[in-house]
Amino acid sequence: MANSIEQNNCSVCSQRTQCVGAAAGSQTTSHRIRIERHTSLYEAGSAVGDQIYHIRSGSFKVVRGPSTPDSDADAHVIGFALAPDFIGLDALDQLEYANSVVALEDSVVCSISWNRHAFEGRRRPVMRAHLHALLAREMRREQRAALMLRNTQAEQRMADLLLTLSERQATYGYQPEEFRLPMSRCDIASYLGVTAECVSRLLLQFKQRALFELCRRDVKLLDMSALRTMAFGHEPPPQLQQDQAMLAAA
């Protein structure tokens, strides 16, 4: 499934401050895996090991059940993971993966031993704080996805998706108004529970209403306030926005 597996040197990795697997001075903390576009990192039903995965570059979609050429038409996309997200946290207490994770583009992940770093985290307060923040962030994303499903209007769900991607950018210190959409319109449609034609219409409507600019897959959000109002029915009060920003930075 993977193109190649290489031993990683975490001590010289540019993303070591964002990765719970970064152990100063260690050269065997993790392994780097290169994944081709449309290739699975792991499949539903495969055995869960001791690993979680940190995306160094690229992006993935999370698909409910197996992802095979015969099942692509019926595959249900339940989430997206973009660098520098973590993958596999939802399966730590399971024997088998419930979902498949498929690369949207050529990607690179680091395979990290969760038990080893959870053990080190008990002795190292800084690492322990990183582990707790990582799990808390995953819980907030699951809650956000569940709330999105309560939106009955397709435009609400589309606005929420754009805001979620923007907030991820901000969480990792990137520009929140500008990002790429690595997923196809069919994948977005599957995630939102609409047709690909509906996604195309929504993107055109958002562009006509000056909510964003779209050049191929490059997005520039122009009216965050209007998107929040569309997604939530109102603009969150300043204190709530501040609390959300603090949670995202945790």
Residues 117 and 29 in one domain: yes
Cα separation, 214 vs 81, in Å, equals: 21
- The answer to whether residue 205 is domain-embedded is yes
Residue 123: both structure tokens together: 């002795």
Which of 137, 168, 197 is the C-terminal boundary of a domain?
Answer: 137
Say which CATH number the domain at 128 has.
Answer: 2.60.120.10
In this structure, are residues 56 and 109 in contact, taking their beta carbons and an 8 Å threshold?
A: yes
Does the N-terminal peptide bond of residue 236 adopt cis geometry, omega within 30 degrees of 0? no
**How many whole angstroms from its chain centre is CA 107?**
13
> Tokens 């959409």 identify what position?
181
- The answer to whether residue 142 is domain-embedded is no
Tens-place pLDDT, residues 160-193: 999 999 998 898 888 999 999 999 999 999 999 9
In this structure, are residues 159 and 200 in contact, taking their beta carbons and an 8 Å threshold?
A: no
- The answer to whether residue 195 is domain-embedded is yes
- Residue 25: its pLDDT value, please? 41
Residues 14 and 88 in one domain: yes
- Per the structure, the complete domain to which residue 173 belongs is given by 151-249
- The answer to whether residue 77 is domain-embedded is yes
Residues 57 and 83 in one domain: yes
Residues 234 and 191 in one domain: yes
DSSP tag of 102: E
- The answer to whether residue 145 is domain-embedded is no
Residues 125 and 198 in one domain: no
Residues 46 and 126 in one domain: yes
Q: Is the pLDDT of residue 234 over 70?
A: no
Tens-place pLDDT, residues 20-53: 554 444 445 568 899 999 999 999 999 998 888 9
Residues 220 and 167 in one domain: yes
Residues 100 and 213 in one domain: no
Which of 84, 109, 137 is the C-terminal boundary of a domain?
Answer: 137
pTM of the predicted protein model: 0.80
- Residue 149: its pLDDT value, please? 67
Residues 164 and 130 in one domain: no
Residues whose CB falls within 8 Å of the CB of residue 116, separated by 6 or more in sequence, listed in order: 50
- Residue 31: its pLDDT value, please? 83
Residues 70 and 191 in one domain: no
Q: How many CA atoms lie within 13 A of 98 on its CB side?
A: 10
Helix%, strand%, coil% for the chain, nearest 5: 40, 25, 35
Least confident segment among 16-25, 82-91, 154-163: 16-25
Domain count, the chain: 2
Cα separation, 75 vs 52, in Å, equals: 23
Say which CATH number the domain at 217 has.
Answer: 1.10.10.10
- The answer to whether residue 229 is domain-embedded is yes
DSSP string over 210-244 = TSEEEETTEEEES-HHHHHHHHHSSPPPHHHHHHH
Q: Is the pLDDT of residue 90 over 90?
A: no
Q: Is the pLDDT of residue 116 over 70?
A: no
Least confident segment among 43-52, 96-105, 196-205: 43-52
- Length of the chain, in residues: 250
Residues 156 and 85 in one domain: no
Residues 76 and 191 in one domain: no
Which of these, 57, 59, 58, 64, lies nearest to 43 by C-alpha position? 64
Which of 137, 164, 191 is the C-terminal boundary of a domain?
Answer: 137
- Residue 15: its pLDDT value, please? 67
- The answer to whether residue 32 is domain-embedded is yes
- The answer to whether residue 212 is domain-embedded is yes
